[in-house]
Amino acid sequence: METRRDFIKKSVVVCAALSLPLPWAANAQTVQREFKTRDPKRALVVSYSQSGFSARYGKLIACLLKDQGLTVEWADMRRFDPKRLPDYDLILVGSPVFYYDIPENVADWLSSAPKLTGIPVAAFVSFGGPEGNQHNALCHALHLLAEKEAVPVGMEAFRSIPAYPASWDSANQRSGEHLPDEATYNRVREFAKQIQERVRQGQSLAYSSEIALREIVRMLPLVWLNKKAVGKHTVDGAKCIGCRTCVKMCPVDAIHPERQFVDHDKCIACFGCLNNCPADAVVVEYRGNRLYGFPEYLKRRKITILEPPEFQHCKL
């Protein structure tokens, strides 16, 4: 139970955070470093994805690079050891924007990478709405990679259906109903082309965060605040079919369907368990209302997500 003292403590932390300078925001960050190679042979496209969009964009990039003759690995961040990153000569990292930033498990994963000296890197995010702070989330990801001595060569944000279940009925949600479309995939194609071009020319990318209210909001304990709105988060043993999809999707090992238990301290409120359960067995109550997940959302609105044609021939 959250006490008044805990609340005051958190408020003090927030105020202190608001007064801190942003390490990557002051000026445009340009990394002047020699490229490991300007003719990459082995590329990695690695993403964290909870409703499949970042993974889908990553897969398309991987297919496009493969078509250009590169050896490409397309991987799920949750099952990819960051120690392997130096084995590649081009790395693309994908993530959703959650709570105005890259999710904390993505930031932790990037921070745990070894030195990536001279390796060209690019970041892409999928996001749900135009005011979602995606630019700064991208800068954050690039900054963490640049700290490992990698050379940023690109960043791009691709819009998707906002998979935030608490707002399924908002106007923002409806506006994104049929995304991604052909225009979205064209941007992905353009991005993949630009990355290769920049690497060939040995051109690093300057990036700088936008100081805006949204960036300040990013510093609030949004996950914690959201968890306060979740009254109940558990597993319905009568409905659960024991597929363990929720366990696979959870980035912090917080859900235990066999014990019908969610570790609320560990949980980062990403809704991945709810958004992927095929049996409607993950129970989440948000401000007293039972939420439903992404498969059910698509079913209710009769939405089929458009897949890029490249997937028909691409084997990764």
Ligand X SMILES: Cc1cc2nc3c(=O)[nH]c(=O)nc-3n(C[C@H](O)[C@H](O)[C@H](O)COP(=O)(O)O)c2cc1C
- The residues of the shown chain that bind ligand X, judged by CB under 6 A, are 49-54, 96-100, 126-129, 132-134, 160, 162-164, 269-271
Among 65, 93, 141, 254, binds ligand SF4 (CB under 6 A): 254
Q: Are 73 and 89 in contact (CB under 8 A)?
A: no
Work out what residue 245 binds among ligand X, ligand SF4, none; the CB cut-off runs from 5 to 8 Å by kind.
Answer: ligand SF4
121 binds ligand SF4 (CB under 6 A): no
Work out what residue 63 binds among ligand SF4, ligand X, none; the CB cut-off runs from 5 to 8 Å by kind.
Answer: none
Count of chain residues binding ligand SF4 (CB under 6 A): 26
Phi, psi of 288 (to 5 degrees): 85, -5
In whole angstroms, the minimum distance from the beta carbon of 23 to ligand SF4 comes to: 27
d(CA 283, CA 293): 10
- Report the residue number whose CB is nearest to ligand X: 132
273 binds ligand SF4 (CB under 6 A): yes
Give SS3 for 261.
strand
Q: Are 49 and 57 in contact (CB under 8 A)?
A: no
241 binds ligand SF4 (CB under 6 A): yes
77 binds ligand SF4 (CB under 6 A): no
Q: Detail the DSSP E strand segments found in the chain.
A: 42-47, 71-76, 90-96, 120-127, 151-159, 230-235, 255-256, 261-262, 282-286, 289-290
- Interface with ligand SF4 by CB under 6 A: which range of 20-28, 147-155, 163-171, 243-251? 243-251
- Count CA within 13 A, CB hemisphere, residue 2: 13
d(CA 262, CA 257): 8
Instruction: State the virtual CA torsion across 261, 264, 266, 271 in degrees, nearest 10.
Output: 80
In whole angstroms, the minimum distance from the beta carbon of 284 to ligand SF4 comes to: 8
d(CA 106, CA 290): 28
Work out what residue 249 binds among ligand SF4, ligand X, none; the CB cut-off runs from 5 to 8 Å by kind.
Answer: ligand SF4
Report, in angstroms and rounded to the nearest whole number, the Rg of the chain calculated over CA atoms: 20
271 binds ligand SF4 (CB under 6 A): yes
- Interface with ligand SF4 by CB under 6 A: which range of 7-15, 53-61, 196-204, 270-278? 270-278
Among 22, 166, 252, 314, binds ligand SF4 (CB under 6 A): 252
